Amino acid sequence: MLQVNNIREHKDAYIEALKKRNFDAESIFDEVLSLDETRRSTQSKLDDTLAESNKLSKQIGLMFKNGEHQKANLLKEKTGKLKEDSKQYSEVLSNTIADLEKLLYTIPNVPNEIVPAGSSEEDNEEVYKEGDIPVLAEGSLPHWELAKKYDIIDFELGNKVTGAGFPIYKGKGARLQRALISYFLDKAVEAGYSEYQLPLMVNEASGYGTGQLPDKEGQMYHITADDLYMIPTAEVPMTNMYRENLLTDKDFPIACTGYTPCFRREAGSYGAHVRGLNRLHQFDKVELVRIEKPEDSYAALDKMVDHVKGLLKDLKLPYRILRLCGGDLGFTSALTYDFEVFSTAQDRWLEISSVSNFETFQANRLKLRYKDKEGKKELVHTLNGSALALPRVLAGILENYQTENGIKIPDALVPYTGFDMID
C-alpha cells in the first residue's frame, strides 16, 4: 500500500510511473489527498475539542471544591456540548480513515524505474538465457503422457478423489517430488535461509498484509465457517510472521525459506496450455522470503536471482529470465524477474519462478518497521521468490530427460531419489 505522504510529495512522478501499468492514477490520487485533508483537519478539531473538554473538567472540579457550584454547572453545560462535538468528529474521522484505506487498497505498487512499459507478457524483456535445448528422439512425449506411461502421476484418479487440478503422485513420481522438495530446501539452508514449517491457512489480516486481499480474493479458497483462507504461496504466512514488528539493526538480514502445498482456484483456466502439470489448483513449492533495509534490498534481489539460477544450472534445465513489463507486473511488486524453463516436448517456455522486490508496499500494510541508529522508525523492504515451484520443474525434467529407455534423473537429485532412472 502506498504511503499518503509519498503520494503527496511525488504525485506527478507516481502518476507517470503508474502509466507503465496502464493505470491512470490522477483522479484517484486527488481523491486520496482530499480524504487525507479531511482526516487531518477532523483530527485537529477532535484534538482541540478534547483538550478544551479536559481543561474545563479540571476547572469544574476546582469550582466544586471551592463551593462555586453555579459557575461549575454553567461550565458543565459547555462540556456537554464539547462531548457531543467530539463524538461527531470521532465518527467522521473513523469513516474518513476507512474510506481512505479502502481507496489506497485499490492502488497498485509504483514500478521501479527499470520496469519496461507494456500491456501484456508479450512486452516482457528477456535479460538472460542459459542451457542447451535438448534434441529429443522422434516420438517423444509431453509430460502428461509420460506420467501415464510410467505410472508416476495419475490425473484421472486425482479428478475422482477431488477434481481437476489435484493430481496424485505415485511410486517414483512421489519420490521424485519429495526429492525436489528436500533438494530445494537444503540448497536454501546452505545459502543462509532459516527453514520454517508453516500453516496452510491464514486469517484475513494476513491476506491483507501481503496484498492477496482484496486484489486476489477470487483466486483463493475461502473456508467461510472460520473465515480462513488456504494459502496461495508460503509467502503469505512467512512474511506475516513479522506483521506489526519493530525491528532493529541486529535483526538484519532476515532470510526465510519453507515448503508448503499451495492452493489456487485459477478460475477461468482452460485449454491445452494448462494441461497436465502446467496449471494446478494444488501444487508444491519452496519459497524464499527476505526482509531488508531499503538500501540493501536490490542487492538482496540480485542474490535471490543468482540462487534460482544455481538451482536450474544444477538440474541442467534450459531456462531464461524475463524482466516483467508494467502490464504484466503483479499488483504488489515494484520489480519482478520471471524464470521460465523450456519444455522440449511442448515446444514452449513454462514459468517456474518469480522473484520480486515489493519495496515498502507490503511493509506499509503489515506495519512492519525498523528503528535505525538515530532512533527513527522506517518501513522495511520485503522480497520473495519461488525456489522453486515444483509442477513445471517436474514437467521439464520428465520431458527434457526422456530417453528411449526411460526418464533419466538429473545427477543433482540422485542422492535424494535413490534411483537414477524412471523406467
**352 marked as binding residue:** yes
Q: Where do we find the cell 485537529? A: 44
Instruction: Give the burial string for 317-352 (b: 16+ CB within 10 Å, else e).
Output: bbbbbbbbbbbbbbbbbbbbbbbbbbbbbbeebbeb
Residue 265 annotated as lining a ligand binding site: yes
Residue 361 region by backbone torsions, left for phi larger than 0, else alpha for psi between -120 and 50, else beta: alpha
Q: Binding site annotation covers 54?
A: no
Buried/exposed code over 362-393 (b: 16+ C-beta within 10 A; e: otherwise): bbbbbebbbeeeeeeeebbbbbbbbbbbbbbb
Torsion of CA 340, 344, 347, 349, to 10 degrees: 0
Contact 262, 285 (CB under 8 A): yes
Q: Is 348 annotated as a binding residue?
A: no
At 346, is the secondary structure helix, strand, or coil?
A: coil
Q: Is there a binding annotation on residue 266?
A: yes
Beta bridge partners of residue 176, listed in sequence order? none
Query: How far is it, in rounded angstroms, from Cα 53 to Cα 84?
Result: 11
Strand, helix or coil for residue 310: helix
CB atoms within 10 A of CB 231: 26
Instruction: Please check if 353 is assigned to a binding site.
Output: yes
Distance between CA atoms of residues 353 and 385, nearest Å: 7
Is 31 flagged in the annotation as binding?
no
Give me 364's grid cell.
506499509
Instruction: Please tell me whether 68 is known to bind a ligand.
Output: no
Residues making up the annotated binding site for ATP are: 264-266, 351-354
Residues making up the annotated binding site for L-serine are: 233, 264, 287, 384
Residues making up the annotated binding site are: 233, 264-266, 287, 351-354, 384
